[in-house]
Amino acid sequence: MNGLVALVSGFLFALGLGISGMTRPHIVRGFLDVFGSWDWRLIGVMGGAIGIHAITYRLILKRSSPILGPKFQLPTKKDIDMRLIIGSMLFGLGWGWAGICPGPGLVSVVSGNFSFLYFVGAMLVGMKMFQIFEQKFLNKKVRGIYE
């Protein structure tokens, strides 16, 4: 059943990304081009998504558990560290450069447009490289430097 939930959620998520314009890199880059010809329309995506989810999140957490599982699995990290800042900076640089973030990239690989294929291929390599890097350098030994 959790598989079906994930399937439906992923399907709807993809439709939302497409309808809102997130799968068109020039619209995303136009949104980030605040000092140029700023296209502010994507504010509506965040507004719509957060507007809905901020309310439903509070209602759902009144329950003691999700419908299909024993407990909620929410992120537990609370610390503000260099990992969070540097990671978000690198992500933002790549996001602005291509106008694509992970969700829209994945949704768009099926479009057959090579721009998305290059992007997603490199993104998966970047993720794998991070996991190797994390295992070698971030786990325990030199944690103090990064966190």
Partner 1 sequence: MNQIMGGVIIGIAATIMLLFSGRVTGISGILGGLLNPKTQDKSWRLFFVVGLLFGGVTLKLLRPDFFTVISSASPMDYLIAGFLVGFGTLLGNGCTSGHGVCGISRLSPRSILATVTFISAGIISVILFKFIRGEL
**Per CB under 8 A, which of residues 73..112 are in contact with partner 1?**
73-75, 77-80, 83-103, 105-112
Instruction: Please return the burial class of 25, using the count of CB atoms within 10 Å of its CB with bins 0-12, 13-18 and 19+.
Output: buried
CB of 130 to partner 1, least distance (A): 4
Measured from the CB atom, the residue of 74 and 145 that comes closer to partner 1 is 74
Contact 108/23 with Cβ under 8 angstroms? yes
CB of 120 to partner 1, least distance (A): 6
Closest CA to 22 of 13, 34, 10: 13
Binding residues for partner 1 restricted to 125-144, rule: CB under 8 A: 125-131, 133-134
Letter for the amino acid at 3? G
CB of 112 to partner 1, least distance (A): 8
Chain CA centroid to CA 34, Å? 21
Q: Look up residue 29 and give its two tokens.
A: 């880059």
Per CB under 8 A, the list member of 19, 137, 143, 147 interacting with partner 1 is 19
CB of 92 to partner 1, least distance (A): 3
Measured from the CB atom, the residue of 111 and 142 that comes closer to partner 1 is 111
Contact 41/31 with Cβ under 8 angstroms? yes
Alpha-carbon gap, residue 63 to 59, rounded angstroms? 8
Binding residues for partner 1 restricted to 34-73, rule: CB under 8 A: 34-36, 41-54, 56-57, 60, 65-69, 71-73
CB of 62 to partner 1, least distance (A): 11
